């Protein structure tokens, strides 16, 4: 979601925040147009609510250095009934207050279900901190609106805010819980974690899936000798020493040990990864939930292994080929709402169940001639598409009630006449497993909320302009002839242990290296040799990670000249680096558009 605004915060002073003028205009628009009293109870995904909520409070968590954890009882199903927007607003108000008044500690949000009630319990390591003392009454108003009750309990160590809401049911609603094949219950997990609260909650989640879990501290890690008795090791990979890394690599290669790095989620979706650790099979991000762990276990032990990806042949020839396009979306600079007039009278279908997000999209495009149609879920989207052939592009949310984005995209791609309809994923936190599944069923690109309007412009420019000028023929996918001195794809895949991750890294390299020649050229001409050395050092690590040998050699030569104080020999490298970058760029693009990449 580009911006999240609570419509009840009428007195909020946004002038002190880091919003630009366009965002402030959107906030004003939302204050005037967002509903304030209506309740819209519907079936919603619990994981979607948790993802959206974390996206709102993440900046406060990062700023105040807080360990934020979800503790979700196993009685909580995948879906529940309620008004997800009001629930999100209520929880945001409470958590924003508590997190804003807490630093360097742990805060836990528990979710439990009884026969007639749903209970949200927020445990803060802060004595006598109560939202009831706050002048902002929005949280209490929302709780009362949903016919709930708020109680606050203090003891010497904690403040506990307990929100009790009626358990709602729907005629079409049937509780469904996370289930995995029975053979997974035999798996053994070793968790290396020092924080007691974190380890207790993680242990609880894995125990709910009937897995055996052993917990050890990091100071015991060097002395452990029985890694081979476990199926999965979970730890923070950044704390692994080089000696231990070599040992774990040997155990992994010999016994097939799966290694998962447990990290904090905040900030990762806004930055690019530098040299992902080849030892790691999967990254898992806190705060964990049962849905995330279920997805991890299914991917690691059921769906596929990293070394043997099973892909349906029909999918290879149809849907998977779409991901040959470069789908990492850069921001077009200096974009305003008026800029979207460039796309004339195009027809956009926005598939999004969040009312605020719908209004934001309408507000962004209100000064263009673009026609915006809204669908609240995947089923509504299919109905619109099947009855209106004028739709030019679909912006598809993933987690929605009734029918999610995954199923909707899958149904769209089954229709041969809709094969060329661009589908762009618009996801909350951009979890890798969700994004990968969407690409596998035929999505063209993705935007991760909060995205900039310059990125939305780029998407339209890429797919609407392209569609207008094309003859709707399928792209030709070539046979890639590898030039190992330019790009060694086989070695790159072996390093990543995952062909999907390897493709991902190559796409990121195209984005990160796009302006590298101009930067190197400027530093050499301006004789900014310290800056040049720092930039080339970082760049060298990136190109080595994708096994791009010639351009690595060129960067290494630049660094040697600087080290030997032979800077007068650098000017020819302006052209030399440019030539190597063009070769590498061409090879990456050809590879990603080839059958070899899949």
List pLDDT tens digits, range 296-314.
887 777 654 333 333 233 3
418 & 533 share domain: no
586 domain-assigned: yes
Q: Is residue 17 part of a domain?
A: no
pLDDT the model gives residue 322: 52
Q: Is the pLDDT of residue 433 over 60?
A: no
pLDDT at residue 429, as a whole number = 55
Nearest 5°: CA angle at 141, between 138 and 142? 85
User: For residue 569, how far is the Cα from the chain centroid?
Assistant: 44
Amino acid 41: pLDDT: 83
478 is a domain residue: no
* Pairwise pLDDT comparison (102 vs 134), residue with the higher score: 102
Looking at residue 326, the DSSP 8-state letter turns out to be -
pLDDT at 174: 57
State residue 530's pLDDT score.
93
Are 328 and 456 part of one and the same domain? yes
- Pick the closest to residue 76 from 204, 260, 203 (CA basis): 204
Return the higher-pLDDT residue of 427 and 334: 334
Do both 161 and 40 map to the same domain? yes
Look at residue 11 and tell me whether its pLDDT is greater than 80.
Answer: no
pLDDT of res. 182: 76
Q: Token pair 């742990």 is at which residue?
A: 106
- Write down the pLDDT at residue 155: 80
- Beta strands of 148-257 (E only): which ranges? 149-154, 159-166, 188-192, 212-216, 232-235
Range of the domain at 531: 489-597
47 pLDDT exceeds 60? yes
Task: Indicate the DSSP class of residue 430.
Answer: -
Count of domains observed in the chain? 4
* Residue whose C-alpha is closest to residue 142's, from 90, 98, 92: 90
3-state helix, strand, coil in the chain (%, to 5): 50, 15, 35
Structure tokens at 79: 């879906």
- For the chain, give the mean pLDDT: 78
- Residue 263: strand pairing partners: 285
Domain boundary among the residues 247, 277, 303 is at: 303
Is residue 157 in some structural domain?
yes
Does one domain contain both 463 and 332?
Answer: yes
pTM exceeds 0.85, yes or no: no
Mean pLDDT along residues 550-577: 91
Contacts of 526 (CB under 8 A, 6+ apart): none
Q: What is the CA radius of gyration of the chain?
A: 25
- Please check whether residue 130 is in contact with residue 102, taking contact to mean a CB–CB distance below 8 angstroms: no
Whether 325 and 289 map to the same domain: the answer is no
Shared-domain flag, residues 247 and 199: yes
Report CA torsion sign: 503, 426, 45, 10. positive
Identify the band that residue 463 occupies on the pLDDT scale cut at 50, 70 and 90: confident
DSSP state of 451: P
Does residue 3 lie within any of the structural domains? Answer: no
Share of the chain above pLDDT 70, in %: 78
Q: Virtual CA dihedral for 435, 597, 332, 460, nearest 10 degrees?
A: -70
Summarize pLDDT for 335-383 with one digit per residue, the tens: 888 889 888 788 999 998 877 788 888 888 888 888 899 998 889 999 9
In a domain, 173, yes or no: no
Last residue of one domain, picked from the residues 437, 469, 501: 469
- 355 and 247 in one domain? no
**β-strands 106-113, 67-72: how paired?**
parallel
Question: pLDDT class for 323, splitting at 50, 70, 90?
Answer: very low
CA-to-CA distance for 253 and 276, rounded, in angstroms? 18
* Alpha-carbon 428 to chain mean position: 7
What confidence tens digit (pLDDT) does each residue in 185-211 have? 889 999 999 988 889 999 999 998 889
pLDDT tens, residue by residue, 135-177: 456 788 888 889 999 988 888 778 899 999 999 876 655 566 6
Q: pLDDT digit string (tens) for 220-233? A: 888 888 888 999 99
The rounded distance, in Å, linking the Cα atoms of 273 and 501 is 11
State the pLDDT confidence band at 326, using cuts at 50, 70 and 90: very low
Give the integer Cα–Cα distance in Å for 72 and 77.
10
Given a cut of 50, is residue 477 above it in pLDDT? Answer: no
Q: Which range in 56-65, 263-272, 299-308 is most confidently predicted, on average pLDDT? A: 56-65
**Is 20 domain-assigned?**
no
CATH of the domain at 264: 3.40.50.2300
Q: Taken in order 91, 96, 97, 98, is the CA torsion positive or negative?
A: positive
Residues 399 and 509 in one domain: no
pLDDT in tens, 518-552: 899 889 988 999 999 999 999 999 899 899 999 99
Q: Supply the pLDDT for residue 452.
A: 78
Do 377 and 517 belong to one domain? Answer: no
Percent of the chain whose predicted confidence (pLDDT) is above 90: 21
Q: Hey, what are 199's tokens?
A: 């380890």
- Same-domain check for residues 331 and 440: yes
Q: On the CB side of 159, how many CA atoms lie within 13 Å of its CA?
A: 20
Number of residues that this document lists for the chain:
598
Let me know if residue 6 belongs to a domain. no
Task: Tell me: do 299 and 321 sit in the same domain.
Answer: no
Q: Are 513 and 540 in contact (CB under 8 A)?
A: no
Output the six-digit token pair for 355: 């009312």
Same domain flag for 156 and 189: no
Please give the backbone phi and psi of residue 553, each rounded to the nearest 5 degrees, phi first.
-60, -40
- The last residue of one of the domains, among 114, 141, 166, is 166
Cα dihedral 19, 20, 23, 27 sign: positive
What is the rounded average pLDDT of the residues 54-75? 86
Round to whole Å and give the CA distance between 164 and 113: 10
């Amino acid at each position: 979601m580009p911006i999240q605004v609570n419509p009840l915060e009428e007195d909020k002073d946004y002038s002190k925040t880091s919003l630009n003028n366009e965002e402030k205009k959107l906030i004003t628009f939302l204050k005037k147009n967002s509903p304030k009293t209506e309740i819209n109870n519907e079936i919603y995904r619990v994981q979607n609510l948790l993802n959206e909520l974390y996206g709102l409070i993440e900046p406060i968590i990062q700023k105040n250095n807080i360990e934020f954890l979800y503790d979700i009882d196993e009685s909580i199903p995948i879906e529940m009934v309620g008004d997800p927007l009001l629930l999100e607003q209520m929880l945001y108000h409470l958590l924003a207050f508590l997190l804003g008044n807490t630093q360097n500690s742990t805060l836990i949000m528990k979710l439990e279900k009884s026969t007639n009630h749903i209970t949200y319990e927020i445990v803060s390591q802060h004595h006598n901190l109560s939202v009831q003392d706050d002048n902002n009454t929005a949280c209490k108003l929302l709780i009362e609106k949903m016919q709930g009750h708020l109680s606050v309990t203090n003891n010497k160590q904690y403040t506990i805010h307990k929100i009790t809401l009626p358990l709602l049911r729907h005629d079409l609603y049937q509780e469904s819980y996370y289930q995995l094949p029975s053979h997974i219950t035999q798996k053994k997990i070793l968790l290396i974690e020092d924080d007691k609260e974190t380890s207790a909650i993680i242990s609880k989640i894995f125990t709910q899936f009937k897995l055996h879990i052993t917990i050890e501290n990091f100071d015991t890690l060097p002395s452990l000798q029985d890694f081979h008795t476990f199926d999965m090791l979970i730890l923070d990979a950044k704390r692994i020493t080089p000696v231990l890394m070599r040992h774990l690599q040997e155990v992994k290669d010999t016994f097939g040990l799966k290694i998962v790095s447990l990290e904090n989620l905040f900030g990762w979706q806004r930055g690019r990864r530098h040299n992902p650790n080849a030892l790691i099979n999967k990254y898992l991000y806190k705060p964990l939930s049962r849905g995330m762990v279920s997805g991890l276990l299914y991917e690691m032990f059921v769906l596929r292994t990293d070394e043997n990806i099973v892909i349906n042949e029909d999918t290879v020839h149809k849907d998977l080929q779409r991901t040959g396009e470069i789908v990492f979306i850069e921001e077009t600079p200096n974009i305003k709402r008026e800029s979207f007039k460039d796309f004339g009278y195009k027809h956009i279908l926005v598939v999004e169940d969040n009312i605020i997000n719908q209004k934001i999209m309408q507000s962004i495009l209100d000064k263009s001639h673009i026609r915006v149609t809204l669908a609240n879920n995947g089923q509504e989207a299919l109905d619109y598409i099947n009855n209106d052939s004028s739709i030019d592009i679909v912006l598809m949310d993933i987690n929605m009630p009734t029918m999610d984005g995954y199923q909707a995209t899958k149904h769209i791609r089954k229709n041969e006449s809709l094969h060329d309809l661009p589908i762009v994923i618009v996801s909350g936190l951009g979890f890798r497993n969700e994004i990968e599944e969407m690409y596998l069923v035929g999505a063209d690109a993705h935007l991760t909320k909060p995205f900039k309007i310059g990125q939305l412009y780029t998407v339209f420019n890429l797919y609407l302009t392209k569609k207008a000028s094309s003859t709707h023929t399928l792209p030709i996918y070539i046979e890639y002839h590898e030039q190992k001195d330019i790009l060694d794809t086989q070695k790159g895949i072996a390093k990543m242990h995952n062909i999907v991750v390897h493709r991902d890294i190559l796409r990121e390299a195209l984005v990160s290296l796009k302006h590298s020649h101009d930067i190197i050229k400027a530093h050499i001409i301006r004789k900014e040799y310290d800056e040049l050395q720092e930039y080339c050092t970082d760049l060298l690590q990136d190109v080595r990670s994708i096994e791009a040998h010639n351009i690595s050699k060129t960067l290494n030569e630049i660094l040697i000249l600087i080290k030997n104080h032979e800077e007068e020999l650098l000017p020819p490298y302006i052209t030399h680096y440019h030539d190597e970058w063009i070769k590498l760029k061409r090879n990456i693009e050809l590879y990603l558009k080839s059958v070899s990449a899949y």
